[in-house]
Amino acid sequence: MDQVDIAILGAGAAGLFCAGSALTQGQSVLVIEHSSKPGEKIRISGGGRCNFTNMATTWDRFLSGNLRFSASALARFQPEDFVRLVDGAGIAWHEKTQGQLFCDGKATQIIDLLLHRMRGAELRLQTAVKDVSRNADGFVVATSAGQVRAQHVVVATGGKSIPKMGATGIGYDIAEKFGLRLVEPRAGLVPLGFAEQDLALCRPLAGISVEAEIAHGPARFRDALLFTHRGLSGPVILQISNYWRPGEMLELDLVPDVDIAGCLIQARNGAGRVSVAQVLSQWLPERLAQAILAEMELAAGRLADQSNDSLKRLGQRINRWQIRPVGTEGYRTAEVTLGGVDTGDLDAKTLQARKVPGLHFIGECVDVTGWLGGYNFQWAWASGDAAGRAI
Ligand code: FDA
């Protein structure tokens, strides 16, 4: 039976980073991964350019049963620390928007950086973790290629999102086996599904994009909204999907910062023969404006002929569009899994299970989920570093 100081389960973002940090403590480290390649989600992330961090990272941009849980690890390994590694590796990068940093080249550069950083650790690919148990000498990890004995085990097997890419949810099984509580996992950063009547509006508009604002409960996001054959998509929908629960209504503002009803009522004086569609097209793509007017049976109307009431209704439809999604696309397309190992059962500084010394949980399998925009990788690096240095 193999014997190591630290067995890290999963060679994703968190596991690979943890391995590099643990090496600085002089321990023997084995990373066990069932796929044939490490870091597969990194490879496809950010459209192939990996949005590797967000400079605006703070604990309040994460969802968790305990909002402040992530603060400790995030404070000790910050976006600037990762940027230093990226610069040190000579990887060119750029800021896209809202603090999001992307590689100029390929996401595989980040995987290479992580593999280089963990030189000295063993990476065992195509080896599936089946079970973890504990005896008087430490832990025994049962794998598809035999057993490994380890003093410390770091569970970095991610969530359930995109099973086609290797997601298994085994981290949750291990947590439950050792008596840790779980916050019900669910798909996050995921496209939403819409009812037929909403699809009838969206389908002919497929390809149109506007900057929209969505408010839902405590969350408010402003970003691109995309009309597609499957309804509404784009970053603003992915962001709000983390906060949306089945049955709830969403409210969208298609022209943020402009009081459409007020502007139309003002423009009506002296508007003459100008159509409502013409006036609206200064704020909205023409086809979208036409579709909304058709839905409200105002399509052929002249602005001068509209009553205050109908302009107010139109303004409401644009600034406060209420729409009720029917579901999400689920784990098949979700970028992340919300929920996971209950933070109440983990130490925030070391990510160690309070009741099971030597057993750590890091990355996406923990009940800490970031907004879209590089926050989830920053959590993977920070939680991996916290556990790796603590052991
Ligand atoms: P991750 O899922 O990366 O790694 C877990 C590893 O464990 C996998 O390699 C898996 O194969 C392995 N594993 C599972 N079960 C196992 C078993 N039984 N035995 C052995 N190994 C096992 N985030 C961000 O910040 N910026 C971005 O640009 C993107 N973009 C993006 C695009 C897409 C399409 C997706 C799906 C996701 C993103 N994300 C993202 C989210 C980001 O990828 C995610 O938060 C991190 O990869 C989580 O890192 P972990 O290491 O925790 O899990």
CA dist., res. 351 & res. 390, Å (int): 9
Q: How many CB atoms lie within 10 A of CB 219?
A: 14
Does the C-beta of 158 come closer than 6 Å to ligand 1?
yes
Q: Read off the pLDDT of each residue in 352-373 and give the average, rounded to a whole number.
A: 98
pLDDT at 202: 92
Does the C-beta of 34 come closer than 6 Å to ligand 1?
yes
Segment 159-186, tens digit of pLDDT: 999 999 889 999 999 999 999 999 999 9
HSE value, Cβ hemisphere, 13 Å, CA-based, for 166: 23
pLDDT at 271: 72
Segment 103-162, tens digit of pLDDT: 999 999 999 999 999 999 999 999 999 999 999 999 999 999 999 999 999 999 999 999
Helical (H) or strand (E) element with 237 = helix 235-241
Segment 33-49, tens digit of pLDDT: 999 999 999 999 999 99
Does the C-beta of 337 come closer than 6 Å to ligand 1?
no
- 193 alpha carbon – ligand 1 mean position (Å): 24
CA dist., res. 329 & res. 41, Å (int): 18
Helical (H) or strand (E) element with 112 = helix 108-117
- 357 alpha carbon – ligand 1 mean position (Å): 25
> 354-363: b or e for each residue (b if 16 or more CB lie within 10 Å)?
eebebbbbbb
ipTM above 0.95, yes or no: yes
Task: Give which of 192, 287, 286 is closest to 248, Cα–Cα.
Answer: 192
- 13 alpha carbon – ligand 1 mean position (Å): 6
- Classify 333 as helix, strand or coil: coil
- Classify 228 as helix, strand or coil: strand
Does the C-beta of 33 come closer than 6 Å to ligand 1?
yes
**Backbone angles phi and psi of 251, in degrees to 5:** -120, 120
pLDDT at 123: 98
CA dist., res. 350 & res. 91, Å (int): 30
Per DSSP, the residues of 32-97 read E-SSSSS-HHHHHGGGGT-EEEETT--GGGEE-SSGGGGHHHHHHS-HHHHHHHHHHTT--EEE-S
- Whether the CA torsion 194, 199, 205, 207 is positive or negative: it is positive
pLDDT at 310: 93
